[in-house]
Amino acid sequence: MATKLCRMGIEATEDDVFTCAMATARFVGRQKPGGTAYVIGEGGLLNALHRNGYSIVEDSPDYVIIGEGRAFTFEMIEKAVRLVDRGAKLIATNMDPNCPTDNGIRPGCGAIVAMIERATGKQAFSLGKPSPLMMREARKQLNLSTAQTVMVGDTMETDILGGVQLGFRTVLVLSGGTKLEDLANFGYQPDLVINDIGELTLEMEFPREMLEDKVA
């Protein structure tokens, strides 16, 4: 991710990146230190769990954790269903129903989790946006105060909602799935709306009354 940001002209190191996989691993690490998990996901999630003292197992896990990725089979879904039905807690790194690709959308973490929820009758706990647990942890990781934090995203239901709930300044980017006319459907609004990330600058001006609220 840091490499991708650098290619976009944004200077970043790995210490500047905080993901929902990292938030998930820290959460379960605090909830049950030294626990075990059955995982449907890829390297980032697996590495984060290992760093937080978790063992990846096939049988009798404390948690079934679902993350992003394409390397899964229906047999893995069936196994997750059986483990959750037997008492493992179901955790999702995020609830995004789909993910964009060069060829169109593909099923996201939320779509996979929905199958397991429907089959077991048990609801997943998600650490992804707009979870305040993740967004607060990310702010602390970056060593920022609330007043210094700006949430930039292209989705009202996750990015902007999470920022509004935590009192961050928010910038909606219209290069994703949200259209300007969609804003009328929400009871909360971003502080700024821009067409694409290229318009974002450090010198952007926010409404004066909102800045005064942050300082106060």
Which pLDDT tens digit goes with each residue over 85-107? Answer: 999 999 999 998 888 788 888 88
What is the predicted pLDDT for the residue at 203?
A: 55
Residues 82 and 181 in one domain: no
User: Among 126, 160, 190, which residue terminates a domain?
Assistant: 126
Total-model pTM? 0.82
What's the pLDDT tens digit per position in 17-49?
Answer: 889 999 999 999 999 999 999 999 988 999 999
Say which residue the tokens 């650490």 belong to: 127
> Is 136 inside a domain boundary?
no
User: Among 126, 156, 177, which residue terminates a domain?
Assistant: 126
> Is 83 inside a domain boundary?
yes
Residues 11 and 114 in one domain: yes
User: Among 99, 126, 153, which residue terminates a domain?
Assistant: 126
Alpha-carbon gap, residue 147 to 38, rounded angstroms: 38
Give the pLDDT band (50/70/90) at residue 214: very low
Residues 105 and 14 in one domain: yes
Say which residue the tokens 């970056």 belong to: 142
What is the predicted pLDDT for the residue at 98?
A: 85
3-class DSSP state of 6 = helix
User: Which CATH number is 167's domain given?
Assistant: 3.40.50.1000
What's the pLDDT tens digit per position in 130-174?
Answer: 999 999 999 998 889 999 999 999 889 999 999 999 999 999 999
Residues 17 and 121 in one domain: yes
Which of 118, 188, 124 minimizes the C-alpha distance to 151? 188
Q: Which residues pair with 99 in a beta bridge?
A: 106
What is the predicted pLDDT for the residue at 52?
A: 97
Residues 82 and 111 in one domain: yes
Give the pLDDT band (50/70/90) at residue 117: very high
- Supply 215's token pair: 């300082």
Which residues neighbour 15 within 8 Å (Cβ) at sequence distance 6 or greater? none
What is the predicted pLDDT for the residue at 30?
A: 96
Q: How many domains does the chain have?
A: 2
> Is 131 inside a domain boundary?
no
> Is 27 inside a domain boundary?
yes
Residues 23 and 81 in one domain: yes
Contact indicator for 207, 188 with CB cutoff of 8 Å: no
> Is 135 inside a domain boundary?
no
What is the predicted pLDDT for the residue at 1?
A: 66
What is the predicted pLDDT for the residue at 209?
A: 46
Residues 83 and 20 in one domain: yes
What's the pLDDT tens digit per position in 44-83?
Answer: 999 999 999 999 999 999 999 999 888 889 999 999 999 9
Residues 211 and 157 in one domain: yes
Which of 140, 193, 197, 196 minimizes the C-alpha distance to 169? 193
Residues 32 and 61 in one domain: yes
Residues 34 and 68 in one domain: yes
> Is 150 inside a domain boundary?
yes
> Is 138 inside a domain boundary?
no
Residues 155 and 104 in one domain: no
What is the predicted pLDDT for the residue at 51?
A: 96
What is the predicted pLDDT for the residue at 215?
A: 34
Alpha-carbon gap, residue 202 to 216, rounded angstroms: 21
Range of the domain at 89: 2-126
> Is 139 inside a domain boundary?
no
Residues 96 and 172 in one domain: no
